[in-house]
Amino acid sequence: QFAEGDSPTEVSDMVWQSLDRLYGTLQDECRALLPNHTLQDALTELGMLRLFPLVARRLQMEGGEEERAVGFREYLVHMSQMHQVLSMSQQLQEDIPTSNHKYMAHQVALLYQCLSFQNLNLQRFKRQIEPQFEEIKARTERATVPALSETQKEWLWHLTDEVMHAAVDLRGEASGHIREWIEAMTE
C-alpha cells in the first residue's frame, strides 16, 4: 500500500515487489498447468501471448502481435453489442404473436440501430428492414388497434431468426472482429 509520505524510490520499490510477486504467481500457475514448459512456452500454448500482446511485451517475450490483437475491452464491447442484437431480436419475436403491435415500429428501429455496429458486419439485415419500415410504421401508428399483417409478422419472424443465427455464429462474419479470442478460447 502506498502512503502519502512515501518517496518516489519507496513507491518504485513497492511496485517492483508487487510485479515480482505477480510474475512468481504467473510462473506457478503455468507450471501447474503445463509442468514441462517454460513460462513463455506455456503462455504461447495457452494462447495468452496472442490474446494479451501487452503482457508479452512487458514480460519481454516474443509472440505478442500488438498491431493485430483485439484487446479485452474490445472483446467485451463486441459481446455486449451482440447481446443487444440478440435481445432486441428475441423481444420482437416474443411480441409478434401478441394482438397489439403499438410499439413494433419503435422496436424495429432499435433493432436497426443495433445492426449498425460496424464490427458486427450485420448491415445486410439493415437493407432488409429499410423497404419494410415505412409500411410497418404506418400500419402501427394509424390503426386504433395497431397490428401487423400476417405477411409482416412472417417477414419479421424470419428476419429476427436470421439475425439471431448470425449473431450467435461465433465462426461467422459477425464475429470476425474477435476471431482471435474465439479461436484461443476454443482450442
- What does residue 32 show for φ and ψ, rounded to 5 degrees? -70, -40
Of residues 76 and 138, which shows the higher confidence score?
Answer: 138
| Whole-structure pTM value | 0.66
pLDDT of residue 187: 61
Mean pLDDT calculated for residue range 141-166: 94
Residue indicated by cell numbers 442484437: 85
Q: Cell numbers for 44, please give them.
A: 504461447
- What does residue 115 show for φ and ψ, rounded to 5 degrees? -70, -10
Q: At 119, which helix (H) or strand (E)?
A: none
Average pLDDT, the chain: 83
Of residues 125 and 63, which shows the higher confidence score?
Answer: 125
| Cα(15)–Cα(166) distance, integer angstroms | 46
Q: Cell numbers for 168, please give them.
A: 450467435
pLDDT of residue 46: 79
Give residue 128's region: left, alpha or beta (phi > 0; psi -120 to 50): alpha
- pLDDT, tens digit, 9 for 90 and up, residues 11-59: 777 777 887 888 888 888 888 988 998 888 888 887 777 777 767 777 7
